[in-house]
């Protein structure tokens, strides 16, 4: 009987440790400072060759983004598109912006939208220079990671 009580106590202790670990790991994944427009405005370069320019007046231009299906043919291809953006976030994902694109090409060309999620703000950590910041599109070309050009 004493062994059963010890086993239950050990299992309870492990459960508490697991819950504490989970609470701290979820807390650390969110930026300590809320994302602001100045955190996303600028030129972002993807590691697969895409380029996203986000301007202060609410416009965005994406060029050479591979694997998108909202193209004139509907087949996965490199995308060049223009659109508008707003601060937004998709459910429990990292904060970011919602971009609604109009695709370049002969009419009729479908439009598309995606969340550009930003991980980190560059305001925390030891350097504060933004070197820890990266971003990605959730639905289209999510395999491509973007980094923003230094703004000086």
pLDDT at residue 29 in the model: 46
114 contact partners, CB below 8 Å, separation of at least 6:
98, 99, 101, 137, 138, 139, 140
Q: Tell me the mean pLDDT in the region 73-91.
A: 83
Q: Tell me the mean pLDDT in the region 90-114.
A: 77
pLDDT at residue 5 in the model: 67
Q: Please tell me the least confidently modeled range out of 21-25, 120-124, 146-150.
A: 21-25
**Prediction pTM value:** 0.68
CA distance 81 to 118: 20
DSSP 150: P
Q: In Å, how far are 29, 47, 112, 129 from 39, measured between CA atoms?
A: 17, 19, 23, 12
Angle at alpha carbon of residue 50, lines to 49 and 51, rounded to 5°? 120
Q: Tell me the mean pLDDT in the region 82-104.
A: 83
Q: What percent of the chain shows pLDDT beyond 90?
A: 17
What would the pLDDT profile of 27-79 be if each residue is shown by its tens digit?
Answer: 444 444 577 888 889 999 999 999 999 999 999 999 998 888 777 777 888 88
Backbone angle region of 100, left / alpha / beta, with phi > 0 → left and psi within -120 to 50 → alpha = beta
CA distance 53 to 61: 5
Q: Which residue has the higher pLDDT, 49 or 25?
A: 49
Confidence of residue 126 (pLDDT cuts 50, 70, 90): very low
Among 138, 144, 68, 147, CA closest to 104:
68
Q: In Å, how far are 22, 27, 39, 40 from 95, measured between CA atoms?
A: 20, 14, 11, 10
């Amino acid at each position: 009987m004493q062994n059963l009580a010890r086993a239950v106590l050990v299992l309870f202790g492990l459960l508490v440790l697991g819950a504490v670990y989970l609470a701290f790991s979820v807390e650390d994944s969110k930026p300590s400072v809320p994302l602001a427009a100045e955190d996303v405005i600028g030129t972002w370069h993807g590691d697969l060759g895409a380029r996203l320019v986000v301007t202060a007046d609410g416009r965005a231009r994406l060029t050479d983004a591979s694997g998108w299906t909202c193209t004139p043919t509907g087949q996965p291809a490199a995308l060049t598109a223009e659109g508008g953006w707003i601060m937004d976030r998709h459910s429990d994902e990292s904060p970011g912006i919602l971009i609604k694109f109009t695709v370049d090409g002969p009419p009729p060309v479908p439009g598309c939208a995606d969340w550009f999620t930003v991980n980190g703000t560059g305001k925390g950590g030891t350097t504060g220079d933004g070197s820890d910041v990266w971003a990605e599109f959730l639905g289209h070309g999510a395999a491509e990671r973007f980094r923003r050009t230094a703004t000086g």
